């Protein structure tokens, strides 16, 4: 499934944002109709039916609703990742044009921050609540963990109050290799898992399903925790594959944190399979140099059996940056661009 960035502009600044590298330039870059139609044709020819719209904040694109309606008309199922901070006029557009669309065809993932640990202004809070009140049945809550002492209580309250989908997407903040964004260090992941599991009673009582995003390694979960997750979701995946993000300027990259690492152009490919094959090859090159985020990833049976990816690729690459330049030339050239010092 492809991710399409509608704009590089965002109306919020989160301390953990792993898209900062992509948004560090001109914050006014927007997807054009010409490029969107090309992407839709490209995905259709590739047999893709599902896509996600991201930013920045995708809803700030002036033609956001028209883009969604066009993609729905083309037969795509559309998921939008948003922070929920929408202008009254944009919210009115959603009310008139998207509130009658089946939730199987159109859905939203709203990334929500703890109001105590990541405070929002009164205006932003009001905007988010109005958005959730209107679009609740279409919304799955999302939460990015960027500090080990995170709290989830407020999310259960929002799920009940606004009738959100009872599925909580949980991600860990990833590093932008060579940059200074807030993220969860590999040594903190076990503590994160323990804290997540401490909310088991609330997940169980309120029937909210936890869904883990990429980057979690299987070795930081014990059997009891894995069994609990399996009861909710069936097989639990600990992989890390190409997200295949497409930017407004038609750039293509592995994922947000690696937006400037071996970036390509969509025009260099003829299908999604070619893009995926390219980035799987890139992943294999990096993993041949260093298998995972821990030393014990080397020779790990779960990685050899493709049960676990050994953490997120950006975390793996982040381990390479401080090391001496003894890697493959292609990798060293790219790492050099991200080094903190000469």
User: What domains does the chain contain, in order, with CATH numbers?
Assistant: 2-288 (3.20.20.70)
pTM, two decimals, is 0.90
Rounded Cα distance between 143 and 172, Å, is 8
Listed in sequence order, the DSSP H helices in the chain are: 20-23, 33-45, 64-73, 88-97, 122-135, 153-162, 189-197, 200-206, 223-233, 272-289, 301-304, 313-320, 329-338
Rounded Cα distance between 209 and 13, Å, is 28
User: By 3-state DSSP, what share of the chain in percent is helix, strand and coil, each rounded to 5?
Assistant: 45, 15, 40
| Residue pLDDT tens, the chain, 342 long | 899 999 999 988 777 775 554 444 445 699 999 999 999 999 999 999 999 999 999 999 999 999 999 999 999 999 999 999 999 999 999 999 999 999 999 999 999 999 999 888 999 999 999 999 999 999 999 999 999 999 999 999 999 999 999 999 999 999 876 666 789 999 999 999 999 999 999 999 999 999 999 999 999 999 999 999 998 877 788 999 999 999 999 999 999 889 888 999 999 999 999 999 999 999 999 999 999 999 999 999 999 999 999 999 999 988 876 554 445 566 556 655 654 333
Q: Taking phi first (over 0 means left), then psi (-120 to 50 degrees means alpha), and beta for anything else, what does residue 311 get? A: left
Answer whether the bond into residue 207 is a cis peptide, omega within 30°: no
Rounded Cα distance between 178 and 317, Å, is 9
Residues with Cβ within 8 Å of residue 141, at least 6 apart in sequence: 109, 110, 112, 155, 158, 159, 164, 165, 167, 168, 169
Is the separation of the CB atoms in 42 and 90 below 8 Å? no
Rounded Cα distance between 284 and 168, Å, is 31
Rounded Cα distance between 71 and 63, Å, is 12
Q: Which residues of 82-93 are buried (b: 16+ CB within 10 A; e: fewer)?
A: bbbbbeeebbeb
Is the separation of the CB atoms in 97 and 53 below 8 Å? no
Nearest Cα residue to 6 out of 84, 95, 46, 66:
66
Rounded Cα distance between 226 and 230, Å, is 6
Task: Give me 91's structure tokens.
Answer: 């919210």
């Amino acid at each position: 499934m492809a991710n399409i960035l509608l704009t590089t502009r965002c109306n919020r600044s989160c301390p953990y944002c792993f898209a900062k590298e992509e948004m560090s330039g001109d914050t006014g870059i927007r997807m054009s109709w010409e490029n969107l139609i090309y992407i839709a044709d490209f995905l259709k020819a590739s047999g893709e039916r599902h896509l996600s719209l991201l930013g920045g904040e995708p809803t700030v694109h002036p033609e956001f609703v028209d883009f969604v309606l066009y993609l729905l008309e083309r037969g795509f199922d559309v998921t939008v990742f948003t922070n929920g901070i929408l202008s009254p006029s944009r919210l009115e557009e959603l009310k008139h044009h998207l509130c009658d669309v089946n939730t199987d065809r159109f859905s939203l993932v709203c990334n929500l921050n703890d109001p105590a640990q990541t405070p929002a202004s009164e205006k932003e809070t009001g905007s988010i609540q109005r958005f959730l009140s209107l679009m609740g049945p279409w919304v799955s809550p999302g939460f990015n963990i960027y500090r080990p002492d995170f709290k989830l209580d407020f999310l259960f309250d929002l799920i009940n109050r606004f009738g959100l989908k009872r599925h909580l997407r949980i991600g860990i903040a990833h590093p932008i290799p060579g940059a200074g964004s807030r993220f969860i260090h590999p040594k903190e992941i076990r503590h994160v898992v323990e804290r997540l599991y401490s909310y088991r009673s609330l997940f169980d009582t309120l029937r909210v399903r936890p869904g883990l995003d990429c980057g979690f390694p299987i070795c930081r979960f014990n059997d009891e925790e894995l069994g609990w997750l399996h009861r909710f979701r069936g097989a639990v995946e600990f992989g890390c594959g190409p997200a295949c993000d497409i930017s407004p300027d038609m750039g293509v990259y592995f994922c947000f944190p690696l937006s400037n690492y071996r970036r390509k152009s969509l025009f260099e490919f003829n299908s999604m399979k070619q893009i995926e094959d390219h980035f799987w090859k890139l992943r294999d090159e990096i993993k041949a140099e260093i298998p995972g985020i821990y030393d014990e990833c080397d020779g790990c049976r779960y990685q050899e059996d493709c049960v676990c990816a050994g953490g997120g690729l950006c975390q793996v690459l982040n381990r390479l940056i401080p090391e001496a330049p003894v890697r493959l030339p292609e990798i060293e050239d790219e790492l050099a661009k991200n080094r903190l010092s000469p």
